[in-house]
Amino acid sequence: MLQTMAAAAAPPNYRILDPHVHVWKHDAQFPFAPGAKVPDFDPTPEKLLDLMKQNGVAKTVIIQVIHYRYDNSYLASVLKQYRKYFHGVCRVDPLNPAAPDDLSRLTAQGFRGVRLSPAADASGDWINGPLMPPLWKRCESLKVPMTLLAPIDRIPDIQKLIDKFPALTVVIDHMADCPVDHPEKLEKLTALARYPKVFVKISHTWSLSKEGYPWLDAQQLVKRLYDAFGPKRLMWATDWPIASDKATYPQRLTVVRDDMKFLNTEDKSWMLSKTVERVWPFPKP
């Protein structure tokens, strides 16, 4: 019922684009990375396409899931099969000096950006290391976005790299997972609003919230980002199928489209569609 309602209410004057999902499949042809903790279900591209159709989502950006680490083969096969519907963002090993060349190779295969995930602890200190400038410079020269899954306390480290590469499009995932009980930390992210090439995904309201749908406590973080960045630099995302126990696919759409009361119709056209097009343009029908 929720899925039908979401599709029926979709605005008719723009196509909804989802800039963040994951897919994987238990398949011996595409082995998971050693030690990967992979759920026993398969969020396949076919299941994703069904959800997109049911909810009025036209196109989607698939982010390389951590289960495969830096082997992007499975996602490459998905993109080859369903190029009409998907763009892909790869991963490269940030500790490998060959990462810039790996990114060039993957971009030539059709990937549209790279994702890095510096952890909050010392294992993520590579974000401040000497291998980052060459990778960021290559990303800039390839004209593909740099996407970052980073905790809020890593944002100042990322800001130093943004200072060095202001022409590079940078996307911060999931509001940097700023905790709702430490809203003062969001200032580290709003400080990036002065960089015109920085975009933020307002996803993870469901994961950050300590309430039920529509996660009003986490919406307060979204409102502050909206005030700082404006709708033209914010984008929604489902992050399907992550945290499926906390939010359905339709709810991840309706929370932005229907239940963020501070957004007007024009705001939604940006955050559900046109902002995504600025970063990941899709061919017109």
> pLDDT for 96-136, tens place per residue?
999 999 999 999 999 999 999 999 999 999 999 999 999 99
- Of 127, 131, 132, 134, the C-alpha closest to 150 is 127
Distance from C-alpha of 36 to C-alpha of 69, rounded to nearest angstrom: 8
**pLDDT recorded at residue 8:** 47
DSSP state of 240: B
Bridge partners, 88 (sequence order): 62
Distance from C-alpha of 190 to C-alpha of 198, rounded to nearest angstrom: 10
**pLDDT recorded at residue 253:** 98
Mean pLDDT over each residue of the chain, to the nearest integer: 95
Q: What is the largest CA-CA distance in the chain?
A: 52
130-175 tens-digit pLDDT: 999 999 999 999 999 999 999 999 999 999 999 999 999 999 999 9
Residues in contact with 122: Cβ distance below 8 Å, sequence separation at least 6, in sequence order: none
- Of 144, 198, 132, 141, the C-alpha closest to 171 is 198
Query: What is the arithmetic mean of pLDDT over 178-205?
Result: 98
The CATH architecture assigned to 2-124+138-279 reads Alpha-Beta Barrel (3.20)
At residue 69, does pLDDT exceed 80? yes
pTM, full prediction = 0.95
For 112, other C-beta atoms within 10 Å of its C-beta total 22
Query: Angle CA(92)–CA(96)–CA(99) in degrees, nearest 5?
Result: 45
* Contact predicate 120/154, CB 8 Å: yes
Distance from C-alpha of 71 to C-alpha of 90, rounded to nearest angstrom: 9
H or E stretch covering 275: helix 275-279
Give me the count of residues in the chain. Answer: 285
